Structure 1
Amino acid sequence: MTGLWIGFGCRQGCSVQALHELLQQTLLDHALNEADLQGMASIGLKAREPALLALAERLGLPFATYGAETLAPYQDRLSHHSARSFAATGCMGVAESAALALAEHCTIGAAVLRVSRRHSAVATLAIACTEPHRGCTQRST
């Protein structure tokens, strides 16, 4: 089994349905299996965001958050650098950084982005993996 680790960024007050739809569409677009999801993460500012907490519960996944200082070292590995995100959070890219941080926190070895930043009107999502295989390489979508 390949472990997949989700990173989310979202607007305050977004709906769990909006997050779930973004995740489901991303999994479908990349032929990924929900059963391979191992955990979900975001920035510390979102630690009590109701939609993120509800989605983690719905999926039966642990939910972790990281401070901007923990996410900063991942900046060079991001596919997209957002000045807007940096102004709001102190992080150049919440979803990708959070996915990479969680994957590396929970496993041994370097993580790579399996799915780089995807976005909707209210959220961003990225998926990292740690087990090298044919489908787990750094790439942009």
Structure 2
Amino acid sequence: MTATGTVPILVIGLGCRQGCTAAELLSLIERSLARAGIPLNAVRALASLDLKRQEPGLLQLAARLELELEVFSAQQLAPYAPQLSHRSNLVFEKTGCFGIAESAALALAERLAGAPATLLITRQKSPGATFALACFEQNPR
């Protein structure tokens, strides 16, 4: 719990190249969370672009972590472009959105909270993947 008596809820956004393995994704997640001092078990869900809905590495990662993988269309992610730390024209040409990991994390955190979310960890990357962490705070029950 934070000093304000709320419980932070954390959501991971992921982007990846086709064929990216669950091991590469998990390594990126673990490194990024460790640098921020955040335990992996504090994460509530994973999010990505709908084009990645059947990506084996993402599906294997979600199963391994026992987390839901939620996906969003490029149109659903577009409103988050102003909040991105990095906008990629190449990603936009391929997917229709300027950044997958940050946008997807924000979209899912906002959906779960019913309120605006913020990026706690901005875009981190490995050779085949990107990661971001969004959060919102929820009053304890």
Report the TM-score when normalising by structure 1. 0.91
Between the aligned partners of 2:86 and 2:125, the Cα distance in structure 1 is: 12
Rg (Cα) greater in structure: 2
Return 5+ residue gaps in structure 1 as ranges: 133-141
Query: Which residue type is aligned with residue 123 of structure 2?
Result: R
Query: Structure 1 residue 85 and structure 2 residue 91: aligned?
Result: yes
Q: Pairwise mapping of residues 1-141 of structure 1 onto structure 2 (< 5 A)?
A: 1-131=7-137
Is there any run of 5+ residues in structure 2 with no aligned partner, and where?
1-6
| Alpha-carbon distance, 1:131 to partner | 1.4
Q: Distance in 2 between matches of 1:107 and 1:31?
A: 23
Q: Larger strand proportion, structure 1 or 2?
A: 2
How far does residue 107 in structure 1 lie from its aligned partner after superposition?
A: 1.4
Q: Secondary structure at the match of 1:2?
A: strand
Amino acid at match of 1:131: E
Of structures 1 and 2, the one with the larger relative CO (CA 8 A, separation 6+) is 2
Runs in 1 of length 4+ with deviation above 6 angstroms? none
- Say which SS state the counterpart of residue 67 (structure 2) adopts: coil
- Give the Å deviation of 1:15: 0.8
CA distance in 2, matches of 1:129, 1:12: 27
Q: Normalising by structure 2, what TM-score?
A: 0.91
